[in-house]
Amino acid sequence: MTKAAAGSALSTALASIDDTVARLSHLSRRSYQNPYTALSEWPETVRPDEEWFSSPEYVSLYGTRMWDELDEPARRRLAFQEAANFYSLNIHGEKSLMRGLAARLYRPDLLGVADYLHHFLDEENKHSIYFGQFCRKYARIYRSRQIAGTETRPQHVEDLLFFAKTLIFEEIVDYYNRVQARDGRLHPVARFINHNHHYEEARHLVFGRRLLAVLWEVCTAELTAEQVDDVRDYLSQFFVMTWREFYNPDVYAEVNLPEPWELAETAWTTPYQRDLRRRVSAGCVKFLISTGILSEEPHDAY
Amino acid sequence: MRTEAETRAVLRDWVLKKASGLDPEQLADSTALFEQRYLRSVHLPELLLLLERLRGAPIEVEHLNLDNFGSLDAMVRFVCVPESAP
């Protein structure tokens, strides 16, 4: 199939999600936000030794011997830096996402979703304002270890991978957001950031699932068995890549824990953490398997 | 501190676990892992964490390119010869 024919097939297939796109656009317009209003109410300083900024059961060292050995203030300091790492991951993820969305905005075969892509972009930018403000005001922005690749693929495969990666990242993050928004132990700013992100991401997840099913349908008509395996390998490793960044040695070094890289490896292989990653990923994995995008769980991620 | 041989063995095991379709007999120290698409950009964050762990020091991502760890030889050099790293 030529690029033009593939584009035409995509335009036609996208018509099946017109109603969803219109409804999500309406909801986005109804809850349009000015992030600077909320930011003006944030305290000047916070007390990382005394307040929780991440749910302890979701801290990357929970379930390890190191966690057992830390006293309560040290656990809170770690949970605070993990909140900053979590927000930093979101900042880096949203930068890539905004680049990808902007590149697809008003592409002729994606015109059917252009209105919603505007909302998507706008909302991601606002989320990054919250995350960036927290990190700069109270902590730091942790670096990413991601490096842009040089691989090239046909456009329909690039689209599929882009929106699949977006969905995987957002579903994992959203699980943390939902838990932490409801956790009454957390500082109000942490609960606000998690609640607000979840509130908006819920729309993105609906859009992502519907769009991805359409893209897969268009793609499978074109892909060889070898290319399908390649997509599945890539996305399975994307789960690993995404999860690995939750176990950041830079965070452990920041709170003066010894041998931060060994600690990251120990935490990664700790049974409690493996089970947590499986549990958090389950909804997204189930969706990807149900559509046929994945054929099995991403075992290396657990 | 690992020896160069131990470092190479750890990296070789990792590459074989990650590189789909690569038999152990095919993997030479000079095999171009990214050029031949045995590894891809999606492997890099995990590889960087491993290289940092083997070096015991952080790696500045901004100054990196794939040549720095395009083969087992390059990775071992990167870990064992600190001045070769950015």
The residue ranges of every structural domain in chain A are: 3-142+160-301
Contact status, residue A130 vs residue A196, Cβ threshold 8 Å: yes
Chain B CB contacts of A234 under 8 Å are 40, 42
Q: Do B64 and A240 touch (CB under 8 A)?
A: no
Residue A259, phi-psi category: left (phi > 0), alpha (psi -120 to 50), beta (remainder): left
- What is the mean predicted confidence (pLDDT) over A35-53? 93
Measured distance CA(A92)–CA(A97) in Å, rounded? 9
pLDDT at B24 over 60: yes
Residue B65 banded pLDDT, cuts 50, 70, 90:
confident
Measured distance CA(A158)–CA(B67) in Å, rounded? 24
Q: How many residues does chain B have?
A: 86
Please give the mean pLDDT across all residues of chain B.
Answer: 89
- What is the mean predicted confidence (pLDDT) over B44-60? 93
Chain B CB contacts of A144 under 8 Å are 45, 61
pLDDT at B82 over 70: no
Contact status, residue B22 vs residue B15, Cβ threshold 8 Å: yes
Mutating which of B20, B49, B55 best tests the A interface, going by the most A Cβ atoms within 10 A? B49
Q: Which two tokens stand for residue B13?
A: 């095991």
The predicted structure's pLDDT at residue A42: 94
Chain B CB contacts of A151 under 8 Å are 37, 40-41
Search chain B and give the residue with CA nearest A232: B20
Q: Does A143 touch chain B (CB under 8 A)?
A: yes
Q: Which two tokens stand for residue B52?
A: 């940092």
The residue ranges of every structural domain in chain B are: 4-84
**Could you tell me the fold of the domain covering A3-142+160-301?**
Ribonucleotide Reductase, subunit A (1.10.620)
Measured distance CA(A218)–CA(A220) in Å, rounded? 6
Measured distance CA(A44)–CA(A59) in Å, rounded? 25
Q: Does A49 touch chain B (CB under 8 A)?
A: no
The predicted structure's pLDDT at residue A239: 98
- What is the mean predicted confidence (pLDDT) over A144-149? 85
Give the global pTM.
0.94
Q: Which of A278, A253, A277 is nearest to A263 (CA)?
A: A253
CATH class as words, domain B4-84: mainly alpha
Q: Tens digit of pLDDT for each residue in A238-288? A: 999 999 999 999 999 999 999 999 999 999 999 999 999 999 999 999 999
Please give the mean pLDDT across all residues of chain A.
Answer: 94
Q: Which two tokens stand for residue A272?
A: 């409690």
Q: Tens digit of pLDDT for each residue in A56-103? A: 999 999 999 999 999 999 999 999 999 999 999 999 999 999 999 999
Calculate how close chain A gets to B46, using CA atoms only, in Å. Answer: 6
Q: Do B41 and A147 touch (CB under 8 A)?
A: yes
The predicted structure's pLDDT at residue A273: 98
Among A27-36, A94-103, A136-145, B55-64, the range scoring the smallest mean pLDDT is B55-64
Chain A CB contacts of B17 under 8 Å are 300
The predicted structure's pLDDT at residue A4: 62
The predicted structure's pLDDT at residue A267: 98
